[in-house]
Amino acid sequence: MTPAHLPLLQQVLLVLAAMTLLTSFVLLQQARLVAAIHAFAWQGVLVAAMTLIVAVSENHPHLYFSAVLTFSMKALLIPWMLHRLVRRLELDRHIEQLARPSLVIMAAVALVIFSYWLVLPIVQHGLEFTRNIVAVSLAVVLIGLLMMVVRRQAVAQVLGFMSMENGLFLAAVSATSGMPLIVELGIAFDVLVAMVLFGVFFFQIRESIDSLDVDNLNRLTESREDT
Amino acid sequence: MTILLVVLQMLLYVLLAPLLVGWIRKVKAVLQNRRGASLLQPYRDLYKLFGKEARMAHTASPLFRAAPYIVFTATWLAAAAVPLFVTQLATAGIADIIAIAGLLALARFFLALAGMDVGTAFGGMGASREMLVSALAEPAMLLAIFALVMTVHSTNLATLVDYQLTASVLRPSYLFALSALVLVAIAETGRIPVDNPSTHLELTMIHEAMILEYSGRHLALMEWAAQLKLLLYGALLVNVFFPWGIARQGDPGALASGLFFVMLKLAALGVLLAVSETVLAKMRLFRAPAFLNLALLLGLLGMLSTVVLEVGL
Amino acid sequence: MSTSPALWLAGTAVGLALISALLSLLTGKATRLLRIVVMPLFAAAGLVALAAGLTAMLSGGVSTAELPMGLPWLHWHVRLDALSGFFFCVVGVVSFAVGIYASGYIRGFEGGRDSLPALGGFGGLFLAAMLTVLLADDAFMFMVAWEVMSLSSYFLVAFHHEHAANRSAAFLYLLMAHVGGLAILLSYGILATFGHGFGFEAMRGAELSFGWASAAFVLAFIGFGMKAGLVPLHAWLPLAHPVAPSHISALMSGVMLKVAVYGFIRVLFDLIGQFHWQWGIVVLTVGSISALMGVLYALMQHDLKRLLAYHSVENLGIIFMGLGLSILFLSEGHQIIGAVAFIAALYHSMNHALFKSLLFMGAGAILHSANERDMEKMGGLLRRMPWTGLFFLVGCISISALPPFNGFVSEWLTFQSALQVWQLDSGVLRSVVPIAAAALALTGALAAACFVKVYGIAFLGRARSRAVRRARPAPLTMQVGQGILAALCLLLGVLPTTFIALINIVPQQVLGHGLAQATAHGWLWLTPVSEQTASYGAPLIAVLLIVALVIGLWLMGRGVLRVRRCDAWDCGFAPPNAGMQYTASGFAQPIRRVFGMLFHIEEGVESLPDGRRRHFLRVKDRAWELFYLPIARLIEQSARRVALLQSGNVRIYLGWSFATLLFLLWVVT
């Protein structure tokens, strides 16, 4: 079965999934924080749109609610909070180049292939078309984690964390038509609280080590040895 | 009849190429609140250059003299295999898309050599930069081709266009391949933001630096070849990704409508190019790798999405 | 047992090569004899080898014979099939051209201190050994010939032994050749154990489990890969090839590396005879890395011959990419695509032999006329040596894989087989192969950049040193040798279909089926898979290009296209002089910067003893620090451990001997 046999909505879904993957890559290598936040917001928009399409095509009414929730949280609220945070921390002109951008990109590509390979048995099992998107969501999760590993800037790490959450949500939507509503609400609330906590932490970190470069946290161990 | 069509298409390529450049310049001028030169100005420029005396430096070798002819012929040959307004062409088989890339690379090879021939600093600089940009563009282009071939199973452009006509499906891989090819085309044809075709500021130019020493008919041929290359990439993009309206048989009605549609599509492409060139600024040379890495990434994602998303459903 | 004309011809070729070696040793002081007798004999040996190869391929049969030589219970077996025949052609055609070229080239050594009889002697022995490797039908004869080939080439590398750098390069070469030979020997050992015999016929029948087959494969890949200069085993190659005399460099880069390819094909495709996708991935990956690293390091060189040597690493990488693709497709049961990739690898072997030898001959001609290897001192040679310049240009276009020359055809075929990756079932393979193909595309484009640099700096522009400004055209024989290869480069580029029809017998014999559809549409069209999939009309492209050139020349001759000479414009600055031209390092600077992390770059300002300061730039091979130095350190450490045994006390030595004796007696009982 090839895309030609799918209804139009599901073709659109595939395109959106591919673009979600693209935003993950953009997040990974975007040097400017503000632009990275925008990319994250776009990823939220795409995830919300995909939820909406799954809701329409598979007729799951509660997914409409999830879509609205995702859109308002991931595409509007959290990016807005991050944006404000970055401005207050005076990081809006901050540029952080990756040390080995091409290597990181190749690693991310390898992650995509790897997650495809992991999902392969599941895909052969069930024949629902959404299962293919599971590979993409897994890749989004893994790339988010990779981003947390390679980025030194704390805000960028939070972006990686949030995009991991996007991937998990996408996996839930595509594999099982979404989680129960109560779980979803709980997660959304958790993410929001996490966001607020991160904000508080940023200020604390900055106050104590005068930077948001997490590599500087290494010094904490050394100072213990000194005493 | 088929031979006639081939000749017609090859003639159309050389005749339309300056028009596309004139059109882009005109749109750009309008966007910048200028009146701009007439659409036919590139033709007048070529005519003027052909009438002028060709001068050559004392230090130039025979290669310098032969290069314009080789560059023009190789580009023209590559164009002969790209369907412009009709798919079934006798020449479509002489070169698939990889051989077309090879012919363009041959043209570029001689262009760069000619740049180095006279022994000026600017020529070497242009050649060095051109080879860097093209080297980085090549893998991106190939991956975009892979993204297409994974579903079409052919690198012959006529087959590709035919396939696109029969099965118009929304595929993520095509979107990625299209964006990657657009970036590659911008880099290869030396447009903003990689190179500025209208600059003569010594230290920023790439293409112009290589043809700096040319004059008269040699310069005309080099300029014409560059215009031809732009039209070639334009035809490639619009016909592979938006093939609607292209003629599939040789009857005059279909041909006329095919020509009409392709000119319409190319005009739209020209407007897009002019808008992007008005909005964007030229990048530093060492930003160009990032630009082409983006193209490479898009090509990779296109290829991956055929594997991950589109097959094995 | 049948002795066919092909085998007779092959024997004659080996004999002629040996006679040329012997005669050369007999010439003594009469070095003129070397030029007028020995080198023509060498060329004749090449020609006969070419004839033998062609006969073997055209007859399509397999001819074998047993020689009354070797060990008493193991006579030497020789065999000439299509695969050997093909490589006979590769060796023969290059040796023929080299023989002609060398009779002019070695004139430059006459009156020097170097021993010319040794040069001719080891050269002949080298050729004979290479041909014998191709003929061998048992592991014993193969290894003997292989070692003779390595040894004789060692002496050729050490020919200019008065420089310490050359001696150490030659020693490194010998060391690596031995380690590689050991790996090959072990691989044959595995095959012989399971096949119960040292003959290739017995090995073909060996029933190998996947584990043992993989062990044999890995050993053969290491052994032959080392000879072929695959990354990271390539370090000897860019040191050893350039220091030999240029016609020997041409033979080593053009031909000896192909013998390694032959050995790999013989062992893997013929003797082991099973294919696994894991092997394909390994070969493909190593091939891609070699291709990419080879060309990137080549770009950083400004010693012309070393640059060419690094390009050998690149091209062998491309050949092994073809072989890797072939293994991959064959393992998944796609016989036709496997054959396409196999033919691509063979085609590229032939092409690389032609254009690399051609380029080395060009470098030799420059060395002969201007005594210069450093590109930074060349310039404007096209006007000084027009024919050499033209032939060198042909070589540059061919190696850059540009139509309508031969390099393009084989790279195009490699791409075509990679593009058929959609036929594979495994999605992981489907996504890995395009990445390798993208690496190949990058390699091709970088090779073009590199040869724009080489040709632009060396042959165009203006001379950068006095010797180059006064360079004289090379002797006629050297030009003829180059001309032959240049013509063949064009011929193989223009008539790919005819050539593929000729070598189609090789996959037919080795893989069991050929590539009928590639040539099904007549000599004009090359359609490796099918007409709809991809086609390339090389003759048409060539004819159109040539017609355009002829019209241009005709118009020029009629005086229609006249030009006026003037000073260079150069944006109206002061008239440019030779020192204002772009240099080779300057040309490569953008690429050096973009790919900076792959090189070990030392750049800065150093103080000279006389107080002046100078900018320096050294680009070193990363393989040394990542691969060789750790191994060297490891060996040194273990040697130190072993040295603990060396206490110096005689009684302790006797004790060791006693213990060993007891142990052996226990083993025997």
Give a yes or no: residue C381 inside a domain: no
Closest Cα of chain B to A130: distance in Å? 9
Tokens of C153: 């080439």
Q: Using a cut of 0.90, tell me whether the model's pTM lies above it.
A: yes
Q: pLDDT band at C568, cuts 50/70/90?
A: confident
Contacts of C550 in chain B (CB under 8 A): none
Contact status of B206 with chain C (Cβ, < 8 Å): no
Give a yes or no: residue C360 inside a domain: no
A67: region left, alpha or beta (phi > 0 left; psi from -120 to 50 alpha): alpha
Average pLDDT over residues C148-153: 94
Residue A198 to residues A32, A93, A194, A204, B243, Cα–Cα distance (Å): 19, 20, 6, 10, 51
Closest Cα of chain A to B291: distance in Å? 12
Taking CB atoms and an 8 Å limit, are C545 and B109 in contact across chains?
no
**Is residue C134 over pLDDT 70?**
yes
Residues 95-154 of B with CB under 8 A from A: 151
Closest partner CB to C428 (pick from A100, A109, A113): A113
CB contacts < 8 A, A to B, total 75
Q: Which of A26-35, C120-129, C286-295, C574-583 has the lowest mean pLDDT?
A: C574-583
Nearest chain B residue to A121 by CA: give it.
B312
Taking CB atoms and an 8 Å limit, are B119 and C576 in contact across chains?
yes
**Is residue C87 over pLDDT 70?**
yes
Taking CB atoms and an 8 Å limit, are B109 and C412 in contact across chains?
no
Contact status of A116 with chain C (Cβ, < 8 Å): yes
Contacts of A120 in chain C (CB under 8 A): 427
Nearest chain C residue to B71 by CA: give it.
C545
Peptide bond before C386: cis, by omega within 30 degrees of 0? no
Query: What is the total count of domains within chain C?
Result: 1
Closest partner CB to B310 (pick from A3, A21, A123): A3
Cβ atoms C52, C14 nearer than 8 A: no
Closest partner CB to A136 (pick from B151, B176, B309): B309
Contacts of C430 in chain A (CB under 8 A): none
Taking CB atoms and an 8 Å limit, are B108 and C549 in contact across chains?
no
Closest partner CB to B170 (pick from A11, A102, A109): A11
Average pLDDT over residues A71-95: 86
Which of B169, B296, B309, B310 to mutate against chain A (most A CBs within 10 Å)? B309
A65: nearest Cα among A80, A75, A55, A57: A55
Contacts of B166 in chain A (CB under 8 A): none
- Give burial (CB, 10 Å; 0-12/13-18/19+) of B10: middle
Residue A120: what pLDDT?
77
Distance (Å, whole) CA C621 – CA B87: 50
Contact status of C596 with chain B (Cβ, < 8 Å): no
Closest partner CB to B310 (pick from A8, A14, A105): A14
Contact status of C432 with chain A (Cβ, < 8 Å): yes
Closest Cα of chain A to C599: distance in Å? 14
pLDDT in tens, C608-625: 888 888 888 888 888 888
Q: Give how far the C-alpha of residue B118 lies from the chain's centroid of Cα atoms, to the nearest Å.
A: 27
**Is residue A65 over pLDDT 80?**
yes
Average pLDDT over residues C93-107: 92
Closest partner CB to B96 (pick from C534, C548, C582): C534
Residue C184 to residues C177, C189, C200, Cα–Cα distance (Å): 10, 8, 14
Closest Cα of chain A to B245: distance in Å? 21
- Domain residue ranges of chain B, discontinuous segments joined by +: 2-310
Residue C443: what pLDDT?
96
Q: pLDDT band at C527, cuts 50/70/90?
A: confident
Give a yes or no: residue C86 inside a domain: no
Residue B259: what pLDDT?
92
pLDDT in tens, C234-258: 989 999 999 999 999 999 999 999 9
**What residue has token string 């380690």?**
C179
Closest Cα of chain B to C514: distance in Å? 21
Q: pLDDT band at A62, cuts 50/70/90?
A: confident
Contacts of C435 in chain A (CB under 8 A): 109
Residue C177: what pLDDT?
92
Q: Which chains touch C (3 or more CB pairs under 8 A)?
A: A, B
Give a yes or no: residue C638 inside a domain: yes
Give a yes or no: residue C658 inside a domain: yes
Residue A30: what pLDDT?
86
Q: The complex's ipTM?
A: 0.95
Contact status of A18 with chain C (Cβ, < 8 Å): no
Residues 6+ apart with CB under 8 A from C449: B131, B132, B134, B135, C299, C591
Closest Cα of chain A to B167: distance in Å? 7
Nearest chain A residue to C430 by CA: give it.
A113
Which of C419, C497, C532 to mutate against chain B (most B CBs within 10 Å)? C419
Distance (Å, whole) CA A72 – CA A76: 5
Give percent of chain C with pLDDT exceeding 70. 100
Q: Which of B155-159, C13-17, C345-349 has the lowest mean pLDDT?
A: B155-159
Residues 6+ apart with CB under 8 A from C492: C347, C350, C351, C354, C406, C409, C499
**Is residue C430 over pLDDT 70?**
yes
Cβ atoms C414, C348 nearer than 8 A: yes
C230: nearest Cα among C307, C306, C176, C172: C176
Residue A129: what pLDDT?
62
Residue B285: what pLDDT?
87
Contact status of C435 with chain A (Cβ, < 8 Å): yes
C268 CB-side CA count, 13 A: 31
Contacts of A112 in chain B (CB under 8 A): 304, 308
- When mean pLDDT is compared over A55-59, B246-250, B252-256, C514-518, the highest value belongs to B252-256
Taking CB atoms and an 8 Å limit, are A120 and C427 in contact across chains?
yes
- Phi and psi at C115, nearest 5°, equal -85, 105
C348: nearest Cα among C552, C165, C492, C531: C492
Nearest chain B residue to C455 by CA: give it.
B113
Contact status of C431 with chain A (Cβ, < 8 Å): yes
Tokens of A47: 């995830």
Closest Cα of chain B to C563: distance in Å? 5
Taking CB atoms and an 8 Å limit, are B106 and C403 in contact across chains?
yes
C489: nearest Cα among C416, C381, C390: C390
Say which residue, C223 or A209, is predicted with more confidence.
Answer: C223
Say which residue, C29 or C459, is predicted with more confidence.
Answer: C459
Strand bridging mode B54-57 / C600-607? unpaired
Q: Which domain holds residue C646?
A: 632-668
Closest Cα of chain B to C7: distance in Å? 40
**Is residue A124 over pLDDT 80?**
no
Q: Any idea of the CA torsion for C420, C421, C426, C432, to the nearest 10 degrees?
A: 180
Q: Which of A208-217, B31-40, B59-68, C109-118 has the lowest mean pLDDT?
A: A208-217
Closest Cα of chain A to C428: distance in Å? 6
Which of C292, C425, C435, C442 to mutate against chain A (most A CBs within 10 Å)? C435
DSSP C61-113: --EEEEEEEEETTEEEEEEE-HHHHHHHHHHHHHHHHHHHHHHHHGGGGTTSS
Residue ranges in chain B whose pLDDT is less than 70: 1, 168, 311-313
Say which residue, C643 or A178, is predicted with more confidence.
Answer: C643
Which of B166, B171, B313 to mutate against chain A (most A CBs within 10 Å)? B313
CB contacts < 8 A, B to C, total 262
Contact status of C425 with chain B (Cβ, < 8 Å): no
- What's the whole-number average pLDDT of chain A? 81
- What's the whole-number average pLDDT of chain C? 90
Contact status of C438 with chain A (Cβ, < 8 Å): no
Residues 39-68 of B with CB under 8 A from C: 53-63, 65-66
pLDDT in tens, A140-182: 999 999 998 888 888 888 888 889 989 988 888 877 766 777 7
Taking CB atoms and an 8 Å limit, are B149 and C419 in contact across chains?
yes
Contact status of B312 with chain A (Cβ, < 8 Å): yes
Taking CB atoms and an 8 Å limit, are A117 and C427 in contact across chains?
yes
Say which residue, C135 or B86, is predicted with more confidence.
Answer: C135
Contacts of A113 in chain C (CB under 8 A): 428, 431-432
